[in-house]
Structure 1
Amino acid sequence: MAEYRPPLTDLRFALEHVVGYPEVSALPGFEHADLDTVVELLDSYGEFVTKVIAPTNRIGDTEGVKYHPDGSVTVPQAFKDAYRTYVETGWGSVPMPQQFGGEGFPRTVGLAMQEMITSANMSFALGPLLTQGAIEALTAVGTEELQQRFLPKMVTGEWAGTMNLTEPQAGSDVGALTTRAVRREDGTYSITGQKIFISFGEHDLTDQIVHLVLARTPDAPEGTRGISCFVVPKFLVNDDGSLGERNGVRALSVEHKMGIHGSPTCVMSYEDATGYLLGEENRGMSIMFIMMNTARTSVGLEGVALAERAYQDALAYAKQRIQGHAPGSSEPSPIIEFPDVRRMLLTQQASIAALRRLILLHGAQVDLSTHHPDAAVRERASEVVALLTPICKSFGSDQGIELTSLALQVHGGSGYIGETGVAQHYRDARIAAIYEGTNGIQAADLVGRKLPVRGGASALEFIEQLRALDDELAVAGDDFAAIRSQLEVHLSALKRTTEWMLRAGVTDPRAVLAGSSPYLRMWGLCVCAWLLAKSALAAASIGDDSAAEQLVLARFYAQQLLPQVSALESAATAGADDLYAFDAVPVR
């Protein structure tokens, strides 16, 4: 396994020249986060995760977590040492709200940092990720009392946070949950029920864990309309801020998983636990979506981060593994000299660069939607954020699986052997397509909620924004001709399919849902190709040292990966008839 190297040069280039970070840093509230400051910060953080976090990755995979009869859960000692350093150095507070002790850096910067820590150790990174989501929900809708009680120590990382949605009988169907919340005379609630698949539900990294729990009050409406959200701490908090008595919440077990062995995935029991209502009763789903929408982009980022780590391993292996004779060589050759190995490596490199830009673009749009002084700009940025969220989550995590698999393939039989370490990246990546809403749910969200915004005008306007790059490509020279022609063909296919989706959705929603997954992939491929084309144009215009590399990546993506789009058009518009053709006939 190669030592992790943070992709700092590409992160800076993407921020400065592709996703519009200079505009973000000029927004009110971000004056302290100019590009030079951010680059220096990312450089220091990259050094930190390389030296402190990355060495714990294999340890977490091999040692795992341990459940004890008293309900406690312990993580590897290496995790505890690294987390203590993480808190002491204050890295977790960088993108957190300033009013509670954070440094208030933009979401875009937080995503760049998330990529590096996730590449270093995805299992470890899940803890701070969940805490950040809980912080955002409390910041958005918590009372001042709740915020002051919990947020300062959550922002520093001294206390951790989770979200508790899933129950044994209610997986993706959150509305079927049965955890009960009964109001007490003092205004608190008694929480009783069981939750499953709760990441970092119990651990010994922090003394306190603040759970955000979905539950139903006695007279609540059925389904998702009757769900409320509650803050349920592991320990009650005294008036002076110290920890009080243990609350009625404990872990019943931890799951034994395919990957992310260092992340404790718990079955949680709530028995007359004290909970505090977050927001209003029956508004729990909208509150939880504050956490989930943040987490969904971060889960897509997990695919990018693991693909990057796996690619670095594959590249190092391909350079040193001597096997056979490459074309034109009379001497034994490293396998990187074979065309098919280079195809696999370049597929990884181009795809990772494209996905990195996709995630950072999403972050920049989030920052515009929250901080731009012009309401119209904020509204349009919010629309783009909503459109890109399911694409980032689903396409990013799907690509993470495919690209880590390619990295394993480069290793040949050695990749299938655990000692090389590359198989861990593949196993760890597999969960990202499942949690935070399966990728099928993301596709359904895209066509069911995001595509119909303003009667489809929002999505069509974004497609036109992608197509507008044609003017720049037209005058960029022959080197860009293939990129231009491929973008024109496949963006046209995306537009046709979008218009079909809008028409079919009126009369045949089942047909739209049947084609939703290939349709989402069309979006991911098109936006990624567009972003790489922007990168190549920017590098050429400023004479950047990476200009030749950026051009090759953009052209390779346009010619060898983007053509999937037109092939997917048929699948996206095929309808649902064949999917239901065998209802009455046994399938053999």
Structure 2
Amino acid sequence: MASYTAPLRDMRYVLFDLMEGDGLASLPGFEDFTRDLIDPVLDEAAKICEQVLHPINRSGDEEGCAFENGVVRTPKGFREAYTLFREGGWTSISCDPAHGGQGWPKSVGILIEEMICSANLSFGMYPGLSHGAYVALHAHGSDELKDTYLPKLVDGTWSGTMCLTEPHCGTDLGLLRTKAIPEGDGSYKITGTKIFISAGEHDLTENIIHLVLARLPDAPKGVKGISLFLVPKYRLKEDGTPGASNGVSCGSIEHKMGIKASSTCVMNFDDSIGWLVGEPNKGMRAMFAMMNTERLSVGVQGLGLAEASYQGAVTYARERLQGRALTGVKHPDKPADPIIVHPDVRRMLLTHRAYVEGSRALAAWVGRAIDHEEHHPDPAVRAEAEEFVALMTPVVKALLTDLGFEATNLGMQVFGGHGFIREHGMEQYVRDCRIAQIYEGTNGIQALDLVGRKLPAHAGRNLRRFFHPVSAFIEAKVEDEQLGEFVQPLAKAFVRLQQATAQVARAGMANPDEAGAAATDYLRLLGLTALGYLWAKMAEISLAKLNDDPDGFHRAKVATARFYVERVLPQTNALFAMVMAGGKSMMDFDEAAF
């Protein structure tokens, strides 16, 4: 059976060595967040994830959620785990202290999110969706709505959802039909059906606060006519506690490939009373505050599952005896050698490891930028950080979930036939990870967002926030005798990325189908180059620490960096060729021939 131990050593390396997390305390509002405070909180997060959440991961998958007469019951142990989670303050970690939150930096919060996703992704969906609702309401809600609902969302007594998708519209939200009729007293009657609503109904909290996209009677057509409304499951009594039903009901739950302990609901709103969040017909602006937060979190889901899968694969590869090493017997005292001696198993494990540790570094880089965007005293630094986060959000969502799915499949492959068997837990990681490439905007949509919106925005200024630090690092280090083996391959990949960027811009301006055809390959090219940059920086840090490396951590870090630049980064050659080939071969194909 799979087990999980939080990778605190590597998390602290990324936070404090790579991202210089000790500097967090210099930002306004973060004065107390020194390492002396951060370290024990990471320890406590590891404990609840390892000891409370992970033990109910497989049982939750096997039992799933139950639906009967409109009521959803979560699997055995989930209510007790949620109570411990909430009472421990974990729902409030990254929330505003003005509403009862703890105000932790995003760069630390991302590491805690990763642990939760590794331990039990289905469980993590419930507080994860609540935090997304908190973000949207905090950014766009009226003071009255915030004062009424945020404290309960923050302390986890109530939970939240985002209700976008309808049976006839997913990505194209301009087609949605849910109606919002003004009541004349500041409230609205909401009527419609939403599907694929994660955590839409469950038994973990006293109330569920739905953020619902709907149309006012005089709304313009398309996405310009969408408004956002707060619709509670239960109306509130005068004392602020949940009262009568608000016409919100669950019609059914989906039977899914993975994340089976997370309730995915069809939600019906029947003259449900709601309140406007933000401005009329500006709901997409408010909802994207939530969706951008969720897209980063979904990327971390891919990372978390990849880490859990890696741990299982390494343990099995050390223990499973099968055959002898190609170069001769390595363990003569045993009837066979462990499979970790075989080159192809090592290829899978090192690919897995390089993906996980590189993805963690990328997530931390974006997390640090969010901290600067929200807290740095210099407006210019805040603006630059905002542009970097905008550029990298679709990359984190798509790349980390693509790599996460590849990695969990590698982990299952290491087990051979036993990986296909439920009791080992490896196939669950594959099933759970698959949805991450789909929800919160499919990875194809993320790629279109990158090339269609993020690259041309501000005359290309977003891209400079990535290009400039990479270019400066290469220029400073390419001739370094020790670092050359890491930086020179990065430099070649970076040149290809620059050329591909120019090609996408030129071709896409002449014919949008060209940009669309290149988008997925271009996103991966940018993402793998970003990981190459971070691996080169980690190699630099660890090379300097080799003389004081009692546990071999830094030797392993340098060796993994070497594997990445030799065996993974060369993917950028093929990606570059595919981008430069253009879209003619796919767009000229006769539709009738499919």
Q: Same fold (TM over 0.5)?
A: yes
* C-alpha separation in 1, matches of 2:351 and 2:589: 38
Q: 2:441 aligns with which of 437, 444, 448?
A: 437
1:556 and 2:563 aligned: yes
CA contact (8 A) 1:401 1:430 kept: yes
Counterpart position of 2:539: 536
* C-alpha separation in 2, matches of 1:230 and 1:268: 15
Segments of 5+ residues of structure 1 without an aligned counterpart are: none
Q: 2:383 aligns with which of 358, 366, 379?
A: 379
Q: 2:343 aligns with which of 339, 345, 349?
A: 339
1:202 and 2:205 aligned: no
1:420 and 2:419 aligned: no
The one-letter code of the counterpart of 2:569 is L
After TM superposition, the structure 1 stretch with the greater mean CA deviation from structure 2, 236-245 or 285-294, is 236-245
The one-letter code of the counterpart of 1:379 is A
CA contact (8 A) 2:309 2:426 kept: yes
CA contact (8 A) 2:390 2:462 kept: no
CA contact (8 A) 1:233 1:275 kept: yes
* C-alpha separation in 1, matches of 2:226 and 2:358: 38
Counterpart position of 1:211: 210
1:574 and 2:577 aligned: no
CA contact (8 A) 1:482 1:559 kept: no
- Aligned runs of 1:361-400 on 2, under 5 Å? 361-400=365-404
After TM superposition, the structure 1 stretch with the greater mean CA deviation from structure 2, 189-198 or 462-471, is 462-471
* C-alpha separation in 2, matches of 1:570 and 1:474: 24
CA contact (8 A) 2:500 2:579 kept: yes
Task: Give 1:457 deviation, angstroms.
Answer: 3.8
- Aligned runs of 1:1-150 on 2, under 5 Å? 1-69=1-69, 71-150=70-149
Counterpart position of 2:554: 547
Task: Give 1:441 deviation, angstroms.
Answer: 0.4
Task: Give 1:24 deviation, angstroms.
Answer: 3.0
The one-letter code of the counterpart of 1:407 is G
- Aligned runs of 1:118-517 on 2, under 5 Å? 118-330=117-329, 331=332, 332-474=336-478, 476-478=480-482, 480-517=483-520
CA contact (8 A) 1:517 1:572 kept: no
* C-alpha separation in 1, matches of 2:125 and 2:565: 33
* C-alpha separation in 1, matches of 2:499 and 2:75: 52
Q: Percent identity?
A: 45
Task: Give 1:455 deviation, angstroms.
Answer: 2.0
* C-alpha separation in 2, matches of 1:574 and 1:25: 48
Q: 2:524 aligns with which of 521, 525, 530?
A: 521
CA contact (8 A) 1:456 1:502 kept: no
* C-alpha separation in 1, matches of 2:504 and 2:151: 46
Q: Summarize deviations over 1:435-472 as a string: whole Å, max 9, x none.
A: 00000000000001100023224314522321222245
CA contact (8 A) 2:213 2:226 kept: yes
* C-alpha separation in 2, matches of 1:230 and 1:461: 35
CA contact (8 A) 2:71 2:202 kept: yes
Task: Give 1:92 deviation, angstroms.
Answer: 1.6
Task: Give 1:585 deviation, angstroms.
Answer: 4.4
The one-letter code of the counterpart of 1:382 is E
Task: Give 1:475 deviation, angstroms.
Answer: 5.6
The one-letter code of the counterpart of 1:304 is L
Aligned residues: 585
* C-alpha separation in 2, matches of 1:2 and 1:21: 32
Q: What secondary structure is seen at the aligned counterpart in 2 of 1:521?
A: helix
The one-letter code of the counterpart of 2:573 is S
CA contact (8 A) 1:451 1:459 kept: yes
* C-alpha separation in 2, matches of 1:458 and 1:44: 37
Q: What secondary structure is seen at the aligned counterpart in 2 of 1:29?
A: coil
Task: Give 1:125 deviation, angstroms.
Answer: 0.3
Q: What secondary structure is seen at the aligned counterpart in 2 of 1:515?
A: helix
From the superposition, tell whether residues 461 and 141 of structure 1 become closer, same or farther in structure 2 (CA, over 3 Å): closer
CA contact (8 A) 2:478 2:488 kept: no
Q: What secondary structure is seen at the aligned counterpart in 1 of 2:314?
A: helix
Task: Give 1:576 deviation, angstroms.
Answer: 2.1
* C-alpha separation in 2, matches of 1:134 and 1:20: 30
CA contact (8 A) 2:387 2:461 kept: no
Q: Summarize deviations over 1:300-348 as a string: whole Å, max 9, x none.
A: 1111000000110101111110001112333410001111101110111
CA contact (8 A) 1:159 1:208 kept: yes
Task: Give 1:156 deviation, angstroms.
Answer: 0.7
**Pairwise CA RMSD:** 1.3
> Where does structure 1 differ by over 4 angstroms across 4 or more consecutive aligned residues?
none
Task: Give 1:158 deviation, angstroms.
Answer: 0.9
* C-alpha separation in 2, matches of 1:471 and 1:574: 29
* C-alpha separation in 2, matches of 1:184 and 1:464: 53
Segments of 5+ residues of structure 2 without an aligned counterpart are: none
CA contact (8 A) 1:310 1:425 kept: yes
* C-alpha separation in 2, matches of 1:482 and 1:191: 61
* C-alpha separation in 2, matches of 1:200 and 1:469: 44
Q: What secondary structure is seen at the aligned counterpart in 2 of 1:437?
A: coil
* C-alpha separation in 2, matches of 1:7 and 1:509: 43
Q: What secondary structure is seen at the aligned counterpart in 1 of 2:239?
A: coil
Q: What secondary structure is seen at the aligned counterpart in 2 of 1:190?
A: strand
Task: Give 1:542 deviation, angstroms.
Answer: 4.5
Q: Summarize deviations over 1:47-73 as a string: whole Å, max 9, x none.
A: 12111111010011100001112x110
Q: Summarize deviations over 1:186-242 as a string: whole Å, max 9, x none.
A: 110000000000000000011100000000001101111000000000001123111
* C-alpha separation in 2, matches of 1:460 and 1:108: 22
* C-alpha separation in 2, matches of 1:425 and 1:129: 18
After TM superposition, the structure 1 stretch with the greater mean CA deviation from structure 2, 31-40 or 554-563, is 31-40
Q: What secondary structure is seen at the aligned counterpart in 2 of 1:231?
A: strand
The one-letter code of the counterpart of 1:441 is I
Q: Summarize deviations over 1:83-137 as a string: whole Å, max 9, x none.
A: 0111111122111110111110111111110000110000000111110011111
The one-letter code of the counterpart of 1:174 is L
* C-alpha separation in 2, matches of 1:460 and 1:578: 31
